[in-house]
């Protein structure tokens, strides 16, 4: 039903019941917000979006107040601007004066607000809250002194990833965002996915940096061979950090940039994804033969693995033992690719560039080491790679695309599909089909496993077996299935699970974005790579075939199981 | 469970009374009723006011004294308890009734006065120095020369509709409540009226929410009754946490059944089968007595399934809050009931449409609800005759501060402040001048003697920038420092802020800091601090307005009230503190300086000994001297000097 209202002295028609903010957006009027989170009901916490409505005593929050017939709204009157300005000044009065030293310098929402509202003096000052920096976890750093208490991280952690690590503690101006019993993140249920970082407006949450280690290794050309490898999703997201269109695929530029930084070897991590798919398909075949521990649960997402370990340890037998693609790449690099001068392999420094902080957690797991040396020495998120490229003064726009070093310069497009949720299942199905029937699928594009739904499923006939495949993200949507699995069992044979909604293209380490169009562009780019590729199956990748022939034997054989498979552990966490 | 003989009598009496046919009672049952109503007693009845206020005044010791007195003399008398009639400055109150004679109330009955009083009474003689007044009753012979209680200034102009039973019945006896007409209105509602009709009745009476904004209660009820949903809830907000407000506490301690009955009628009217009474766990006795009342009502079949075969089911649950002022805000209260952090939510959607567990919920202030049985009993026309055109009925105030008689006062809307302070309250003690009146708690506002004749109602007070709110009325005299009081309120609001929204969370803290800086010791100041202090002063009013304009809930929106209303009414006092660094009331310690008058000082050394910072120097028998740098302005020396030699500036 259409109604008429007046906005800034202009008559407009709008839909009854939509919020004032929605109406204003349609009119192209921008109102500052802070606590607003897309797809979530408004909490009305920050009060920045207030507008003046004639007849109402106080200013009205545009984000939550519904439009009514005949409303007369003023969005930028003096009273409104003064109020917004003072609210930001109040925030600043309790915020460290730390901009120049801060992780988010240059892309902080609080900086943007202060600039937009033209704040030029410190009218309000007083005592500031102090807080302990939480450096306890390997992936995510929490700095409560920079927190503006918008509550976005809490909502995302509860309603999207459903790990519920964070909650408000205390009251009034002593409120802080905290974990259970105020312990460090490493004690808590945090799975290090980094979704909280994506929504944090300031530098209160960010990934842990290992730049110093990396720079030192790169600088030590004489003694250390540095290797860089990147996950498939990085290739379609990094462009955004340099002002290029979302979804622009720049793998060639990434290779060139990494070499310019000084890495001795640059490998495309999709190779590891192909190996992952081979191993997983073989493992699934094995379980189908034995008819036990079905469904096979995917194991490429370390946040998901930690969730199982701490929340559903009884379901660990269902989890695939295949290491994640990044860790597979890491293992292969250190064991096969490079000649090492000492048996301890201390002279190879392997850096993985990944979509999330959870990979930093994964790389330091005990199981991911060999004789005490980690297979991956340091992990960078996509955002951090961009910073590193800028640190080394590289102008990415002026580079010529290069290809990655052998033997990891080739990969199938199936391996790249892992970047988006549904892609792992699709790749595994393609290879499994070949394993079981000896033929490739006529139409390898499995649309049922694509798209934006949180829960996607496909039923496929393979050699008289009707296989039920599903892919789920984020973790909130897997809870029912897991509890069914605990009680009655499940009709699925393979479940791909990703902690982040949409999978790795939306990982906690990816560039910040506003609006779902960006995410769709990233996914589209992955699918376009698949359309154009001549090698659409992991098992058809020549390099993969020769690698197995020369080194591993067969997938899920004894060599693979020794090197490329891992084990899990039940975790006790605070709450 | 086999029904004992006394139980059977109870059932019959109850049924008869609740049906209103007192004439149909058997003679011996009628005797029981008369006994419970204290119309016809056979032994003396001694009733001690037993509630939080009276206990603080010493009621426990008084009780011991009375008990001992009766035991020692082997007197056959009935010793019972009652609630408070509201005159707190006269606690502990004691009612004594001899068979055939009018009931007499004594005030300030401390343990040492007990024997004097009881000696007199049991010798048919009322000791005048302790008596407050007698209660007229056509069945009782009056005492000579004893004033009637309803003619005392404190009571004379009150209209005690809600406080009717307070101080007259034992709060822990459902029998006494029923024989005095209790629960009859509830049964009448559920048997003779539909929920819509009850809503209509309340709507036509003009009853408005007593919690703050004054939203028409009937309209709110109808919104919920007509909303389509599987369940509806009623929540009684008795979470009174305003400093200076004790009305809800006293009524819950003195007449808990009146609240239970009110909640029951309201639940019926809105179609709710579950009601909650929310009060803070710090109100221990109130919690106990309300829970007991609920249990007793359930025991008598007045709550539960198919109440008195009406087809109406109702369960009332007491919910104890964990001490959060912000939970007086309805959406924060609902969040707290749901087990979540007590933080408010944006409105709309309003709780009457989407409240507890997302179902339509009516949240009513306790006093609003207490008006409901009164309206059901007397009708809306009668109700509208009291009060003003837009504000019908009475309002209960908790009067305290610098006043002769403090306590609960129930007056018709439209009465004036002058009436309350000077007639009912007896004026200010020691003939001090009235500086102002703080009305409605920290979120209320301040009024001065200019407004003494303003009628008290929603609209008038809103014009003056105040809200009726909780009904707390605190009287200030010339020795009260406005800034100190506002600082205290601001400290409270800052501590109680939930922290959700920026203006309240950060704003209340900054406003408090600014006030602290204004009252900080000048000697300790350096240049940058002075700048800081003035910056605060310059921005104080603007900050207060933004906090009021933009906060999410009533706490924040009204947090600035104390500042905004006092800056306009008491600007001079602010300026004295800020520019002259003086506190005219002599309250702000840090702004006081003390000097010793050498002519009057005898060198007794008492002040020097008592000084906590050893700021007074001097030898015995010689005039002493105060070292200003060490003085913290506590005033102990000023108070201990017997020679008036210490001067305060």
* Model confidence pLDDT, tens digit, residues A147-174: 999 999 999 999 999 999 999 999 999 9
State how far the Cα of A559 lies from the Cα of A541, in Å rounded to an integer.
Answer: 20
State how far the Cα of B239 lies from the Cα of B535, in Å rounded to an integer.
Answer: 37
**Beta bridge mates, B648:** B594
Rounded average pLDDT over B120-149: 91
| Neighbouring residues of B480: CB distance < 8 A, sequence distance ≥ 6 | B401, B402, B435, B436, B585, B587
pLDDT at residue B6 tops 50: no
Query: Which tokens sit at B498?
Result: 């939930």
**A392-408, pLDDT tens digit by residue?**
999 999 999 999 998 77
Q: State whether B503 and A149 contact (CB < 8 Å).
A: no
What's phi and psi for B639, nearest 5 deg? -80, -25
Both B273 and B379 in one domain: the answer is yes
Question: Which candidate from A91, A125, A175 shows the least CB-CB separation from B499?
Answer: A175
User: Which of these, B129, B130, B124, lies nearest to B144 by C-alpha position?
Assistant: B124
Other CB atoms within 10 Å distance of the CB of residue A491: 12
Query: How far lies B399's CA from each of A530, B66, B102, B210, B259, in Å?
Result: 79, 30, 29, 16, 21
* Residue B548 within any structural domain of the chain: yes
> Counting Cβ atoms within 10 Å, is residue B573 exposed (0-12), middle (13-18) or buried (19+)?
buried
Q: State whether B499 and A170 contact (CB < 8 Å).
A: yes
* Residue B236 within any structural domain of the chain: yes
Query: Which tokens sit at A62?
Result: 């545009």
Rounded average pLDDT over B365-387: 95
pLDDT at residue B1 tops 70: no
Under the banding of pLDDT at 50, 70 and 90, the label for residue A136 is very high
Alpha carbon of residue A530 to chain centroid = 21
User: Which of these, A125, A73, A150, A313, lies nearest to B531 by C-alpha position?
Assistant: A125
Contact B324, B90 (CB under 8 A): no
Q: State whether B501 and A44 contact (CB < 8 Å).
A: yes
Query: How far lies A423's CA from each of A1, A250, A471, B427, in Å?
Result: 42, 20, 9, 82
Specify the pairing of strand A140-142 against strand A205-207. antiparallel
DSSP string, B591-606: G--EEE-TTT-----H
* Residue B62 within any structural domain of the chain: yes
Given B439, B458, B480, which residue is the final one in a domain?
B480
**Beta bridge mates, B528:** none
**B95-120, pLDDT tens digit by residue?**
999 999 999 999 999 999 999 999 99
- What pLDDT does residue B464 have? 80
State how far the Cα of A515 lies from the Cα of B211, in Å rounded to an integer.
Answer: 43
Q: State whether A50 and B550 contact (CB < 8 Å).
A: yes
pLDDT at residue B2 tops 80: no
Given B384, B412, B430, which residue is the final one in a domain?
B384
Contact B58, B114 (CB under 8 A): no
- What pLDDT does residue B69 have? 93
**A195-244, pLDDT tens digit by residue?**
999 999 999 999 999 999 999 999 998 889 999 999 999 999 999 999 99
- What pLDDT does residue A311 have? 94
* Residue B3 within any structural domain of the chain: no
Query: How far lies B341's CA from each of B240, B280, B550, in Å?
Result: 19, 15, 21
Rounded average pLDDT over B375-380: 95
- pLDDT above 70 as % of chain B: 98
State how far the Cα of B336 lies from the Cα of B340, in Å rounded to an integer.
Answer: 5
User: Which of these, B20, B458, B452, B37, lies nearest to B216 by C-alpha position?
Assistant: B458
Q: State whether A45 and B341 contact (CB < 8 Å).
A: no
Both B109 and B239 in one domain: the answer is no
**Beta bridge mates, B411:** B395
pLDDT at residue B431 tops 80: yes
Chain A residue numbers touching B559 (CB-CB < 8 A): none
Mean pLDDT across chain B, nearest whole number? 90
Chain A residue numbers touching B350 (CB-CB < 8 A): none
Question: Residue B259 sits in a domain of what CATH number?
Answer: 3.40.50.11540
CA-based torsion, A112, A116, A119, A125: positive or negative? negative
**Beta bridge mates, A53:** A73
User: Which of these, B380, B356, B424, lies nearest to B204 by C-alpha position?
Assistant: B380
Contact B51, B83 (CB under 8 A): yes
Question: Residue B620 sits in a domain of what CATH number?
Answer: 3.30.70.20
- What pLDDT does residue B569 have? 85
- What pLDDT does residue A343 have? 53
Question: Which candidate from A126, A151, A168 shows the least CB-CB separation from B510?
Answer: A126
Question: Out of A366-375, B3-12, B158-167, B444-453, which region has the weakest mean confidence (pLDDT)?
Answer: B3-12
Question: Residue B473 sits in a domain of what CATH number?
Answer: 3.10.20.600
Query: Which tokens sit at A441?
Result: 């699928």
Three-state SS for B632? coil
Tell me the residues of chain A between 95 and 154 that have a Cβ less than 8 Å away from chain B: 123-127, 148-149, 151
Question: Which candidate from A42, A61, A171 shows the least CB-CB separation from B498?
Answer: A171
State how far the Cα of B487 lies from the Cα of A514, in Å rounded to an integer.
Answer: 44
Q: How many domains does chain B have?
A: 5
Question: Which candidate from A64, A125, A127 shows the least CB-CB separation from B346?
Answer: A64
**B273-329, pLDDT tens digit by residue?**
999 999 998 999 999 999 999 999 999 999 999 998 899 999 999 999 888 899 989
Mean pLDDT across chain A, nearest whole number? 93
**Beta bridge mates, B316:** B275
State how far the Cα of A151 lies from the Cα of A36, in Å rounded to an integer.
Answer: 9
Chain A residue numbers touching B551 (CB-CB < 8 A): 47, 58
* Residue B169 within any structural domain of the chain: no
| Neighbouring residues of A443: CB distance < 8 A, sequence distance ≥ 6 | none
Given B430, B446, B480, which residue is the final one in a domain?
B480
Residues, chain B:
649
Both B499 and B440 in one domain: the answer is no
**A499-550, pLDDT tens digit by residue?**
999 999 999 999 999 888 999 999 999 999 999 999 999 999 988 998 899 8
Under the banding of pLDDT at 50, 70 and 90, the label for residue B565 is confident
Both B320 and B193 in one domain: the answer is yes
* Residue B125 within any structural domain of the chain: yes
One-letter-per-residue 3-state SS of A232-273: HHHHHCHHHHHCCCCCCCCHHHHHHHHHHHCCCEEEECHHHH
Rounded average pLDDT over B570-592: 87
| Neighbouring residues of B621: CB distance < 8 A, sequence distance ≥ 6 | B602, B603
ipTM: 0.90
Contacts 24+ apart (CB under 8 A), A438-446: A440/A537, A440/A540, A444/A414, A444/A536, A444/A537, A445/A530, A445/A531
Both B290 and B181 in one domain: the answer is yes
Three-state SS for A468? strand
| Neighbouring residues of B477: CB distance < 8 A, sequence distance ≥ 6 | B402, B428, B432, B433, B434, B435
Question: Residue B70 sits in a domain of what CATH number?
Answer: 3.40.30.10
- What pLDDT does residue B189 have? 94
Q: State whether A172 and B509 contact (CB < 8 Å).
A: yes
- pLDDT above 70 as % of chain A: 98
- pLDDT above 90 as % of chain A: 88
Rounded average pLDDT over B264-272: 97
- What pLDDT does residue A341 have? 56
- What pLDDT does residue B529 have? 85
Q: Which domain holds residue B625?
A: 592-648
Rounded average pLDDT over B55-66: 94
Q: State whether A173 and B509 contact (CB < 8 Å).
A: yes
DSSP string, B375-399: HHHH-HHHHHTSB-SSSBSEEEEEE
Rounded average pLDDT over B78-83: 92
Q: How many CA atoms lie within 13 A of A545 on its CB side?
A: 8
| Structure-model confidence comparison of residues B211 and A78, the more confident one | A78
Query: Which tokens sit at B338?
Result: 């749901």
Question: Out of A469-483, B182-196, B626-640, which region has the weakest mean confidence (pLDDT)?
Answer: B626-640
Both B215 and B328 in one domain: the answer is yes
Both B559 and B603 in one domain: the answer is no
Question: Out of B237-251, B317-331, B433-447, B609-623, which region has the weakest mean confidence (pLDDT)?
Answer: B433-447
- What pLDDT does residue B322 have? 84
| Neighbouring residues of A507: CB distance < 8 A, sequence distance ≥ 6 | A193, A194, A233, A354, A355, A356, A381, A382, A500
Contact A67, A16 (CB under 8 A): yes
State how far the Cα of A323 lies from the Cα of B219, in Å rounded to an integer.
Answer: 64
Both B491 and B556 in one domain: the answer is yes
User: Which of these, A300, A307, A306, lies nearest to A323 by C-alpha position?
Assistant: A300
- What pLDDT does residue B550 have? 96
Chain A residue numbers touching B509 (CB-CB < 8 A): 126-127, 172-173
Alpha carbon of residue B527 to chain centroid = 46
Both B334 and B232 in one domain: the answer is yes
Question: Residue B539 sits in a domain of what CATH number?
Answer: 1.20.1440.230
Rounded average pLDDT over B569-578: 90
Both B341 and B355 in one domain: the answer is yes
- What pLDDT does residue B23 have? 78
* Residue B25 within any structural domain of the chain: no
Both B276 and B300 in one domain: the answer is yes
Question: Which candidate from A66, A87, A94 shows the least CB-CB separation from B503?
Answer: A87
Both B348 and B408 in one domain: the answer is no
pLDDT at residue B525 tops 80: no
Three-state SS for A166? coil
Contact A52, A74 (CB under 8 A): yes
Element at B105 (helix H, strand E): strand B103-106
Q: State whether A172 and B348 contact (CB < 8 Å).
A: no
Rounded average pLDDT over A283-297: 94
**Beta bridge mates, A456:** A471
Which of A124, A151, A166 is best to mutate for the B interface (most B CBs within 10 A)?
Answer: A124
- Alpha helix (H) ranges present in B77-216? 114-122, 153-156, 174-179, 184-192, 195-205
Contact A386, A511 (CB under 8 A): yes
Query: How far lies B419's CA from each of A522, B157, B412, in Å?
Result: 74, 8, 11
pLDDT at residue B468 tops 90: no
State how far the Cα of A404 lies from the Cα of B410, in Å rounded to an integer.
Answer: 87
* Residue B19 within any structural domain of the chain: no
**A9-45, pLDDT tens digit by residue?**
999 999 988 999 999 999 999 999 999 999 899 999 9
**A331-355, pLDDT tens digit by residue?**
999 888 766 555 555 789 999 999 9
Specify the pairing of strand A225-230 against strand A265-268. parallel
């Amino acid at each position: 039903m259409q109604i008429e209202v007046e906005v800034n002295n202009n008559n407009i028609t709008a839909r009854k019941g939509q919020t004032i903010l929605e109406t204003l957006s349609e009119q192209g009027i921008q109102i500052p917000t802070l606590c607003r989170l897309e797809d979530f009901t408004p909490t009305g916490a920050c009060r920045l979006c207030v507008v003046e409505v004639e007849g109402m005593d106080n200013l009205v929050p545009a984000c939550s107040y519904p439009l009514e017939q005949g409303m007369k709204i003023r969005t930028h009157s003096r009273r409104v601007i003064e109020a917004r300005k003072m609210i930001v000044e109040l925030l600043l009065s309790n915020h460290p004066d730390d901009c120049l030293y801060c992780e988010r310098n240059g892309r902080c929402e609080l900086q943007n607000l202060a600039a937009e509202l033209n704040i030029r003096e410190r009218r309000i000052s007083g005592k500031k809250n102090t807080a302990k920096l939480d450096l306890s976890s390997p992936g995510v750093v929490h700095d409560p002194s920079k927190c503006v208490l918008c509550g976005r991280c809490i909502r995302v952690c509860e309603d999207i990833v459903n790990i519920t690590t964070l909650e408000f503690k205390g009251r009034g101006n002593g409120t802080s965002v905290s974990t259970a019993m105020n312990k460090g993140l490493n004690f808590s249920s945090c799975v290090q996915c980094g979704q909280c970082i994506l929504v944090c407006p300031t530098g209160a949450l960010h990934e842990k940096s290992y730049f110093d280690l990396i720079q030192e290794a790169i600088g030590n050309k004489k003694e250390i061979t540095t290797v860089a490898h990147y996950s498939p999703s990085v290739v379609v997201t990094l462009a955004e950090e340099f002002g290029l269109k979302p979804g622009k695929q720049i793998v060639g530029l990434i290779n060139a940039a990494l070499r310019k930084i000084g890495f001795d070897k640059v490998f495309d991590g999709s190779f590891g994804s192909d190996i992952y798919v081979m191993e997983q398909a073989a493992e699934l075949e094995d379980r189908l033969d034995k008819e036990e521990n079905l469904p096979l649960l995917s194991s490429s997402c370390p946040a998901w693995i930690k969730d199982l370990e701490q929340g559903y340890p009884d379901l660990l037998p269902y989890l695939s033992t295949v290491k994640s693609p990044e860790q597979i790449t890491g293992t292969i690099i250190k064991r096969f690719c490079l000649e090492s001068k000492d048996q301890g392999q201390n002279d190879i420094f392997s850096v993985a560039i990944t979509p999330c902080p959870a990979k930093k957690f994964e790389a330091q797991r005990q199981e991911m080491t060999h004789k005490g040396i980690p297979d991956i020495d340091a992990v960078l998120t996509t955002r951090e790679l961009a910073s590193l490229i800028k640190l080394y003064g590289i102008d990415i726009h002026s580079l010529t695309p290069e290809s990655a070093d052998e033997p990891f310069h080739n990969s199938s497009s199936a391996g790249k599909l892992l970047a988006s949720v549904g892609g792992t299942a699709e790749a595994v199905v393609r290879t499994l089909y070949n394993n079981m029937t000896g033929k490739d699928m006529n139409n390898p594009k499995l649309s049922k496993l694509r798209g934006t739904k949180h829960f996607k499923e496909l039923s496929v006939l393979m050699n008289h077996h009707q296989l039920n495949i599903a892919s789920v993200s984020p973790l909130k949507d897997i809870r029912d299935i897991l509890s069914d699995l605990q009680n009655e069992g499940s009709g699925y044979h393979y479940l791909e699970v990703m902690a982040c909604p949409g999978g790795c293209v939306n990982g906690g380490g990816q560039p910040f974005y506003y609006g779902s169009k960006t995410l769709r562009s990233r996914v589209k780019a992955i699918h376009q790579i698949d359309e154009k590729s001549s090698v659409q199956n992991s098992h058809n990748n020549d390099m993969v075939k020769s690698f197995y022939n020369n080194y591993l034997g067969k997938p899920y054989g004894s060599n693979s199981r020794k090197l490329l498979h891992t084990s899990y552990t039940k975790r006790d966490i605070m709450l | 469970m086999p029904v004992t003989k006394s139980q059977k009598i109870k059932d019959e009496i109850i049924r008869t009374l609740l049906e209103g046919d007192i004439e149909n009672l058997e003679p011996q049952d009628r005797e029981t009723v008369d006994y419970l109503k204290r119309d016809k007693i056979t032994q003396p009845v001694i009733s001690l006011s037993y509630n939080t206020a009276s206990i603080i005044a010493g009621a426990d010791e008084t009780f011991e004294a009375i008990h001992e007195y009766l035991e020692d003399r082997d007197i056959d008398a009935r010793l019972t308890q009652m609630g408070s009639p509201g005159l707190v400055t006269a606690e502990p109150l004691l009612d004594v009734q001899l068979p055939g004679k009018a009931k007499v109330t004594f005030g300030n009955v401390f343990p040492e006065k007990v024997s004097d009083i009881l000696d007199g009474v049991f010798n048919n003689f009322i000791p005048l120095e302790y008596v407050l007044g007698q209660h007229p009753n056509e069945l009782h012979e009056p005492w000579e020369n004893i004033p009637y209680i309803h003619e005392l200034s404190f009571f004379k102009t009150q209209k005690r509709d809600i406080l009717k039973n307070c101080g007259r019945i034992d709060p822990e006896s459902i029998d006494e409540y029923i024989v005095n007409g209790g629960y009859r209105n509830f049964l009448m509602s559920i048997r003779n009226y539909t929920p819509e009709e009850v809503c209509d009745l309340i709507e036509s009476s003009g009853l408005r929410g007593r919690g703050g904004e004054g939203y028409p209660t009937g309209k709110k009820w109808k919104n919920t009754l007509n909303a389509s949903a599987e369940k509806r809830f009623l929540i009684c907000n008795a979470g009174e946490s305003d400093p200076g407000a004790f009305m809800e506490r006293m009524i819950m301690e003195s007449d808990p059944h009146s609240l239970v009955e009110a909640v029951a009628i309201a639940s019926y009217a809105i179609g709710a089968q579950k009601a909650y009474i929310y009060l803070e766990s710090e109100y221990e006795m109130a919690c106990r007595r309300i829970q007991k009342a609920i249990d007793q009502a359930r025991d008598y079949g007045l709550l539960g399934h198919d109440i008195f075969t009406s087809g109406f089911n109702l369960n009332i649950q007491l919910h104890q809050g964990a001490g959060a002022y912000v939970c007086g805000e309805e959406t924060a209260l609902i969040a707290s009931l749901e087990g979540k952090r007590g933080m408010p939510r944006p409105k709309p959607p309003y709780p009457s449409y989407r409240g507890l567990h997302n179902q339509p919920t009516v949240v009513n202030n306790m006093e609003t609800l207490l008006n409901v049985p009164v309206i059901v009993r007397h009708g809306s026309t009668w109700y509208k005759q009291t009060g003003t055109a837009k504000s019908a009925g009475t309002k209960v105030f908790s009067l305290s501060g610098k006043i002769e008689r403090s306590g609960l006062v129930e007056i018709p809307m439209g009465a004036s402040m002058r009436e309350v302070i000077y007639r009912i309250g007896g004026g200010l003690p020691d003939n001090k001048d009235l500086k102002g009146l703080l009305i409605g708690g920290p979120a209320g506002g301040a009024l001065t003697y200019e407004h003494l004749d303003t009628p008290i109602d929603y609209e008038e007070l809103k014009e003056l920038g105040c809200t009726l709110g909780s009904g707390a009325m605190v009287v200030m005299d010339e020795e009260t420092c406005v800034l100190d009081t506002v600082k205290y309120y601001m400290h409270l609001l800052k501590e109680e802020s939930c922290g959700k929204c920026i203006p309240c969370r950060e704003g209340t803290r900054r406003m408090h800091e600014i006030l602290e800086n204004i009252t900080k010791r000048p000697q300790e100041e350096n240049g940058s601090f002075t700048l800081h202090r003035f910056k605060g002063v310059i921005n104080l009013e603007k900050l207060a307005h933004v906090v009021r304009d933009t906060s999410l809930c009533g706490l924040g929106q009204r947090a600035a009230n104390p500042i905004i209303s006092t800056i306009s009414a008491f600007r001079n006092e602010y300026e004295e503190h800020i520019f002259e660094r003086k506190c005219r009331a002599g309250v702000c310690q840090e702004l006081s300086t003390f000097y010793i008058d050498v002519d009057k000082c005898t060198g007794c050394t008492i002040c020097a000994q008592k000084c906590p910072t050893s700021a007074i120097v001097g030898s015995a028998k010689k005039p002493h001297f105060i070292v200003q740098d060490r003085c913290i302005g506590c005033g102990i020396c000023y108070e201990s000097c017997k020679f008036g030699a210490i001067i305060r500036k």
